[in-house]
Copies of this chain bind each other. A is one copy, B any other.
């Protein structure tokens, strides 16, 4: 055998040679799985590996094992992750089970399939889809992979999904308003084309009906701060006793336009947001909102990554309960 060129990384063959065993034995001794190797040889191999500073080449390993310990996180834009806390915890947890995260920003969805195919992302073990650029079937095809988890609110007969159960939080928010004597409300919505949004709107309406709150205006925005501002300043605006927004960003826009009217003791209306984004930590936007337990949510995602059996049976839907977070805006 050729002596190793010193600038090369040692391979498993080098380790085997130094330990005086075959490559197969070295491979087994170094495996994380239990494999039959005698105790003394295992010891010699580990010792040799350590001495050489051997690092396995995971590309080569993946070629035979067909697994790369890589998880794709698919987003439309980074702003899909405006919830930095959620994402921070998610990455941290994924890393703690020994997997790494490859980040796929879909953006225009234009040449994304071609892009994917030209990268390692194509070989991920699983894809966590926050983006709504495509349905589960397309994503599965794009990743050559059945391990697709839909986190974008889209449902699919064959793909598991984790979706916050919004009814509980909405019911609590509307009840909060009713308990404070609210009789009329305005609803500020996002893109109503999305099924998630339609369900959300339906929940608000049915809860209002239950409490005898009259819906006097329904205004359509696009979830953004700017759209909230625009609607609040538009001629269509009417100060109902409560304003329910289907995103916190829109609520922030509404708040900024009507800040003076909302600050005194005799507030013009009660304001409710949705998402419970961390911005509420800033004093200027104390918006009552609807959130969910991120720890639970992420635990479910991890379940999917570690114990797929539970999700295997097709389009399993896991619901994470939401709750109402009262703040001074209401």
Instruction: Give min CB distance, A11 to chain B, whole Å.
Output: 12
Whole-angstrom CA separation of A98 from B55 in the bound complex: 27
Q: Which residue of B is nearest A226, CB measured?
A: B281
> In the assembled complex, how far is the CB of residue A275 from the closest CB belonging to chain B, in whole angstroms?
15
Segment with Cβ contacts to B, from A85-93, A182-190, A196-204: A85-93
- Which residue of B63, B92, B102, B107 is within 8 Å of A105 (Cβ)? B92
Q: Is A45 an interface residue (CB 8 A)?
A: no
Determine the chain B residues whose CB is within 8 A of the CB of A115 once the complex forms.
Answer: 95, 98
A118 close to chain B: CB less than 8 A? yes
Tell whether, in the assembled complex, residue A102 and residue B104 are in contact, meaning their CB atoms are under 8 Å apart: no
Q: Is A77 on the interface with B (CB-CB < 8 A)?
A: yes
Nearest neighbor of A79 in chain B, beta-carbon distance: B84
Q: Is A27 an interface residue (CB 8 A)?
A: no
Would you give the 0/1 interface string for A29-63, flagging 1 where the beta carbon is closer than 8 Å to chain B? 00000000000000000000000000111111011
Bound: A35/B78 CA distance, A: 38
B100 & A101 in contact (Cβ 8 Å cutoff): no
Residue in contact with A88 in the complex, picked from B77, B283, B285, CB distance below 8 Å? B77
